[in-house]
Structure 1
């Protein structure tokens, strides 16, 4: 699968272990936010696929993050 290989070579999942001390479920680290954006550009609104790339995140959390991000940015 080309997409999975692309992300495994460019994204280090070890960086996501540092976000275990989240203040709330909707706060995303810079690494998580960047990965959500990149995955969204590849697969669109397939939140479960995106969540599968971010340990500890659910599809609902990703979708809520995306919707709040889009509603506040132009």
Structure 2
């Protein structure tokens, strides 16, 4: 029984590694990118409001996308 518990915890760690690798590269469609840009111009950094217009996207994903694309630091 202990082996069963151990193997299931290994499965969880593999899943979390896969998820974190997916989070590092967010892919957005051209329509999503256009909508994010237009909404940002209208409402600013209100990520949750923007995410509400894009099904399946979270505010964190959109903010991360925006900051990676349009970072003002030089």
TM-score by length of 2: 0.62
> Where does structure 1 differ by over 6 angstroms across 4 or more consecutive aligned residues?
none
Q: Distance in 2 between matches of 1:61 and 1:42?
A: 19
**Quick one: distance in 2 between partners of 1:68 and 1:40?**
15
CA distance in 2, matches of 1:71, 1:64: 10
Q: CA deviation at 1:71?
A: 2.9
Task: Using CA pairs under 8 Å that are at least 6 residues apart, name the structure with larger relative contact order, 1 or 2.
Answer: 1
The CA deviation at 1:69 is 0.4
Match of 2:37 in 1: 37
Q: Tell me the residue number matched to 1:61.
A: 61
CA RMSD of aligned residues (A): 1.5
The SS at the match of 2:54 is coil
Listed as ranges, the gaps of 5+ residues in structure 1 are: 1-23
Which runs of 5 or more residues in structure 2 are unaligned?
1-21
Partner of 2:4: none
Q: How does 1:1-74 map to 2 (within 5 A)?
A: 24=22, 26-71=26-71
Q: Distance in 2 between matches of 1:35 and 1:68?
A: 16
